[in-house]
Amino acid sequence: MATDAHHGPEFLAHHFDRPVQQFDAAKLGMWTFLAQEILFFSGIFVAYLLFRSWYPEAWSLGSRLLDWRMGTINTFVLLISSFTAAQAVATAQRGERNKTTVYLAITLICAGIFMVVKYFEYSHKFHVGLLPGSLFNPTEEGWAEIAAAAANSHGMESAPAGTYANHVRSYIGLYFMATGLHGIHVLIGMGVITWVMIRNIKGEFTSEFWTPVDLVALYWHLVDLIWIYLFPFMYLID
């Protein structure tokens, strides 16, 4: 006899037989997505390593134009957010809805702080004209920063001033591409975390169903991991 009765818990999709099957499928799908994200960013890291090997002087000069203090703050903020994201999963597994909301909110606040710091960092680059490609047009202050960086960069101490532009343009272009794409991922993460937090406040997650919290935390860990590599590559290694 045909029936429209649900075959399991309310959160169980009709095409799954058991909750564990649904969870495993969702986890596999997220890991597959994260794998292609790693491949996506791998192209940027390969480009960084190639250009660094071809133009070591340019990379030594370029890294000195970035504010490592801002990069350090953002690294610290993301590490905290990764911890709170993991705690959100742990509390969701125990059915502690209020604690899950708090941890997701802290993660969201940390992400916001990261973007605010990045805004100030980007705005300074715009102010001094250190922009990628055809937009590269340093102001007097920008040229002063380039000259100061060159004076302390390996192989650039006595280079003609005219060579600075090409070196800096290449580095700045990759800097904006790498950190810009990462920033877009941070914004996407903020949107998804907000969506999951709202669902949690509504009581959609229990100790039996917390998959979305787990998946968004996995995504956020990747965002954190990518920055852990970007920070030393772009800001610290000269």
The 10s digit of each residue's pLDDT in 6-51 is 566 666 555 555 556 666 666 888 899 999 999 999 999 999 999 8
- 136 DSSP assignment: -
Q: What integer pLDDT is reported at residue 115 of this predicted model? A: 97
Other Cβ atoms within 10 Å of 205 Cβ, number: 22
CA 234 to chain centre: 14
Q: What integer pLDDT is reported at residue 169 of this predicted model? A: 86
Domain layout of the chain by residue ranges: 75-236
Q: Is 129 left (phi over 0), alpha (psi -120 to 50) or beta?
A: left
Which residues of the chain, if any, have pLDDT below 70? 1-26, 153-165
Fold of 75-236: Four Helix Bundle (Hemerythrin (Met), subunit A) (1.20.120)
Give the Å distances, CA to CA, from 165 to 65, 134, 150, 171. Answer: 13, 11, 11, 10
Distance CA 92, CA 148 (A): 51
State the pTM of this model: 0.88
Q: What integer pLDDT is reported at residue 9 of this predicted model? A: 62
Q: What integer pLDDT is reported at residue 162 of this predicted model? A: 56
Distance CA 105, CA 112 (A): 10
Which residue from 178, 157, 192 is spatially nearest to 232, judged by alpha carbons? 178
**Are the beta carbons of 221 and 76 closer than 8 angstroms?**
no
